[in-house]
């Protein structure tokens, strides 16, 4: 059985951070350091959801309740990428195992499971909030390999993460608007 390590944001679904900033009435060009600190600490599991909500509430100037902060944060996640969905369906038909491999945090894990039509078909995952590091840190790649082995293919939309995969000896492919179609037309992938 072949194994795919699959990034989520920008690969499985579209991300719309501008909707978060708009909801919180923040200028993305002038975000305070506290925003970046809270985001990073939540993404690596250093703080939990409640503290993250409180930190964003402070950044937003206390004009939002924690429930409103949560709702605003969930606007980061947009819609499922249907080209990726078609690719995954074709891989499942050929017996591939797919594992999520993503820099994310609990609120977004909860949300993506509601958005992605196939989320129940991918019960396995390596998330940054569980590992305590974000890609391209080697700790993420090592955590994946320790649990699932080295993947036959790794898809991610960020070049720095692809470079991290290559550094760890992975068959890493930068995901762009045409990647799903290109992989569907690649005999070595589809006839495996």
Closest CA to 79 of 117, 39, 105: 117
Pick the CATH number of 3-14+80-190 from 3.40.50.300, 3.60.110.10, 3.30.470.20, 3.40.50.1000: 3.40.50.1000
Domain ranges of the chain: 3-14+80-190, 17-75
Q: Average of pLDDT values for 148-170?
A: 98
The position carrying tokens 């940054």 is 128
pLDDT tops 70 at residue 97? yes
Q: Span 94-112, mean pLDDT? A: 96
Judge whether 184 and 190 are in contact, CB under 8 Å: yes
3-state secondary structure 27-58: CHHHCCHHHHHHHHHHHCCCCCHHHHHHHHHH
Given pLDDT bands bounded at 50, 70 and 90, which one contains residue 76? Answer: very high
């Amino acid at each position: 059985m072949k194994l795919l390590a699959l990034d989520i944001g920008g690969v499985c679904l579209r991300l719309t951070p501008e909707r978060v900033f708009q909801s919180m009435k923040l200028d993305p060009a002038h975000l305070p350091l506290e925003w970046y600190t809270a985001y990073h600490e939540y993404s690596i599991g250093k703080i939990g959801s409640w503290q993250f909500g409180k930190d964003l509430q402070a950044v937003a100037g206390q004009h939002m309740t924690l429930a409103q902060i949560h709702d605003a944060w969930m606007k980061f996640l947009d819609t499922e990428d249907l080209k990726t969905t078609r690719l995954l369906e074709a891989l499942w038909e050929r017996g591939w195992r797919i594992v999520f491999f993503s820099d994310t945090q609990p609120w977004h894990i909860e949300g993506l499971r509601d958005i992605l039509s196939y989320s129940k078909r991918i019960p396995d995952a390596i998330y940054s909030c569980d590992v305590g590091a974000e890609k391209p840190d080697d700790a993420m790649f090592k955590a994946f390999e320790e649990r699932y082995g080295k993947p036959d293919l790794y898809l991610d939309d960020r070049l720095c993460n692809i470079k991290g995969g290559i550094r760890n000896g992975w068959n890493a492919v930068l995901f762009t608007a045409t990647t799903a179609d290109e992989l569907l037309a690649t005999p070595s992938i589809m006839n495996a």
